């Protein structure tokens, strides 16, 4: 039975350990919970519909039409023929000026000069650029998650240190009360220690409230209540290089590809189209005009052939359109250069901040240890009646501040390293 209990306790401990949230977990949950994640599916659907419509350009096209017209003039018989036929007693009414037609035309595109392929490429590259734009927005969420995550760790570290200081003050308050009973200390000494104890408790409550607020905001971002969960302190790591792999650069490259596709579409618009067509109509007059001049009967008629269409006017704007594309490419290149410049500045500043924090942290451990030794010596003096409580409180406060500064700088160094990783996306 004891063995079963131990095994169960071990399993529960493992579950509890696994329940701790990591920074990567928060990033993934924030991406999944952020409203913009719905953009991806909408972009994909739009792209698929657009490309499907473009491909249908090569499907047979059918046009049904009907018309009724009255013409100002129609074909007539030559005067000599009309005179001869009239002389023989034949009626030569000629073609009617009112004409009617119900027509069906079917056409099949054979080659459109590459317009469909270019349009499909535009749709594809545009969808890619929109997807990468959503990536940029979601990537910026990671920075906000980092701020909240490390803010919670920072407040938690300060709260823990204040808790240690509160315990220390309680212990010293008990010692002072003991000295008062023995006549070795005054009530004012105990009052001073108790006042400092209450002050530290107030600060601890304020920090706990701030930490709870940060957790509440982070919970909204990731779509999960973490008020009762603890965060795992991430391992310290720096990027291997300062070369950026940011989604903004990938998005700008995708926009470049989209402009290249637009350029090919402009070039394709100046090429001729070839296709087959067939027309059939029922009406009057028929294609046999002589027969239609003899009577007004409706007839079936048809025609089949190959057609070439060439929009020569596309050459009028081709040069300016291509120049516009080239100017847009240059603008995107400028945006890319500006981003790289600013990114290099930021990564350099963050690297300097990391170096500075390292140098300061190298002395923090020693400072905390020295402050602790001074405080312990002051406690010893207090017990022997050599030092008053105000001097002891000064030493306790100095140790507390040194410990908090050390704890805060450790989290700040971690945060600075992850900010550098975020800046270069490595």
Kindly report the three-state secondary structure assignment for every residue of 331-398: HHHHHHHHHHHHHHHHHHHHHHHHHHHHHHHHHHHHHHHHHHHHHHHHHHHHHCCCCCHHHHHHHHHH
- The rounded percent of the chain whose pLDDT value lies above 70 is 94
Res. 72 pLDDT band, cuts 50 70 90: confident
| C-alpha span between 261 and 255 (Å, rounded) | 10
φ/ψ of residue 109, rounded to 5: -70, 130
Higher pLDDT, 179 or 245: 245
| pLDDT of the residue at 333 | 95
Model pLDDT, residue 409: 92
SS3 105: strand
Confidence check: pLDDT of 96 > 60: yes
Whether residue 379 contacts residue 175, with contact meaning beta carbons closer than 8 Å, is answered with yes
Are 66 and 283 in contact, with CB atoms under 8 Å apart? no
Stretch among 18-32, 72-86, 408-422 having the lowest mean pLDDT: 72-86
Name the percent of the chain lying above pLDDT 90.
49
d(CA 137, CA 22): 22
Q: Mind listing the pLDDT tens digit for each residue in 108-148?
A: 999 988 889 899 999 999 999 999 999 999 999 999 999 99
Residues 6 or more apart whose Cβ sits within 8 Å of residue 56: none
Q: Which CATH class is domain 21-59+112-272+310-424?
A: mainly alpha
Residues whose CB is less than 8 angstroms from the CB of residue 66 and which lie 6 or more positions away in sequence, other chains included = 101, 102, 103
Does position 14 have pLDDT exceeding 90, yes or no? no
| Distance between CA atoms of residues 407 and 185, nearest Å | 34
pLDDT band at 323 (very low <50, low <70, confident <90, very high): very high
* Residues in the chain, total: 426
Q: What is the pLDDT of residues 247-301, one digit of tens each?
A: 999 999 999 999 999 999 999 989 999 999 999 999 999 888 888 887 888 999 9
Q: Look at residue 9 and tell me whether its pLDDT is greater than 60.
A: no
* pLDDT over 50 (residue 42): yes
Rounded to whole angstroms, the Cα distance separating 75 from 80 reads 15
Question: Over 90: is that where the pLDDT of 102 sits?
Answer: yes
- Name the residue among 26, 293, 291, 237 with its Cα closest to residue 144: 26
Report pLDDT for 413.
93
CA-CA distance, 101 to 300, in Å (whole number)? 10
Predicted confidence at residue 11, as pLDDT, reads 36
pLDDT classification of 387: cutoffs 50, 70, 90: low
The rounded distance, in Å, linking the Cα atoms of 280 and 338 is 62
Instruction: Check residues 88 and 340 and name the one with the higher pLDDT.
Output: 340
| Average pLDDT rounded to a whole number, residues 160-174 | 88
pLDDT greater than 70 at residue 411: yes
Comparing 187 with 218, the larger pLDDT belongs to: 218
Give pLDDT, residue 385. 67
Count of Cβ atoms closer than 10 Å to residue 169 Cβ: 24
pTM above 0.95, yes or no: no
How far is residue 159's CA from residue 193's CA, in Å, rounded to a whole number?
Answer: 20
Within 94-195, strands assigned E span 98-111
Bridge partners (DSSP) of residue 385 are none
**pLDDT score of 157 more than 70:** yes
What is the residue-averaged pLDDT of the chain? 87
Cα angle at 273 between 270 and 274, to 5 degrees? 155
Nearest to 26 by CA among 124, 133, 143: 143
How far does Cα 423 stand from its chain's mean position?
15
Q: Is the pLDDT of residue 56 over 50?
A: yes
């Amino acid at each position: 039975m004891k063995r079963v209990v131990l095994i169960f306790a071990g399993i529960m401990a493992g579950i509890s350990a696994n329940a701790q949230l990591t920074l990567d977990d928060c990033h993934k949950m924030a991406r999944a919970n952020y409203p913009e994640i719905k953009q991806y599916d909408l972009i994909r659907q739009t792209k698929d519909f657009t490309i499907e419509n473009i491909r249908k350009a090569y499907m047979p096209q059918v046009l049904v039409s009907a018309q009724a017209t009255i013409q100002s003039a129609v074909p007539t018989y030559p005067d000599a023929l009309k005179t001869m036929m009239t002389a023989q007693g034949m009626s030569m009414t000629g073609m009617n000026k009112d004409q009617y037609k119900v027509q069906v035309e079917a056409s099949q595109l054979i080659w459109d000069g590459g317009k469909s392929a270019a349009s499909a490429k535009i749709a594809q590259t545009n969808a890619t650029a929109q997807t990468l734009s959503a990536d940029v927005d979601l990537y910026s969420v990671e920075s906000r998650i980092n701020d909240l995550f490390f803010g919670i760790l920072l407040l938690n570290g300060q709260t823990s240190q204040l808790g240690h200081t509160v315990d220390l003050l309680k212990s010293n308050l008990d010692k002072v009360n003991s000295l008062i009973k023995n006549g070795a200390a005054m009530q004012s000494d105990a009052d001073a220690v108790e006042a400092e104890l209450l002050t530290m408790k107030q600060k601890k409550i304020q920090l706990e409230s701030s930490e709870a607020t940060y957790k509440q905001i982070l919970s909204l971002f990731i779509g999960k209540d973490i008020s009762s969960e603890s965060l795992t302190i991430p391992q310290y790591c720096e990027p291997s290089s300062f070369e950026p792999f940011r989604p903004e650069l990938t998005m700008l490259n995708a926009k470049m590809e989209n402009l290249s596709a637009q350029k090919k579409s402009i070039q394709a618009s100046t090429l001729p189209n070839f296709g087959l067509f067939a027309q059939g109509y029922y009406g009057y007059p028929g294609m046999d005009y002589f027969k239609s001049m003899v009577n007004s009967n409706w007839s079936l008629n048809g025609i089949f052939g190959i057609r070439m269409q060439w929009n020569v006017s596309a050459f009028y704007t081709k040069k300016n359109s291509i120049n516009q594309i080239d100017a847009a490419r240059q603008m995107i290149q400028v945006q890319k250069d500006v981003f790289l410049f600013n990114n290099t500045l930021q990564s350099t500043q963050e690297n300097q901040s990391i170096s500075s924090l390292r140098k300061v942290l190298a002395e923090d451990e020693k400072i905390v240890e020295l402050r602790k030794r001074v405080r312990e010596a002051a406690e010893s003096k207090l017990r022997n009646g050599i030092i008053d409580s105000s001097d002891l409180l000064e030493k306790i406060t100095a140790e507390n501040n040194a410990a908090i500064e050390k704890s805060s700088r450790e989290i700040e160094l971690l945060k600075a390293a992850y900010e550098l990783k975020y800046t270069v996306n490595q």
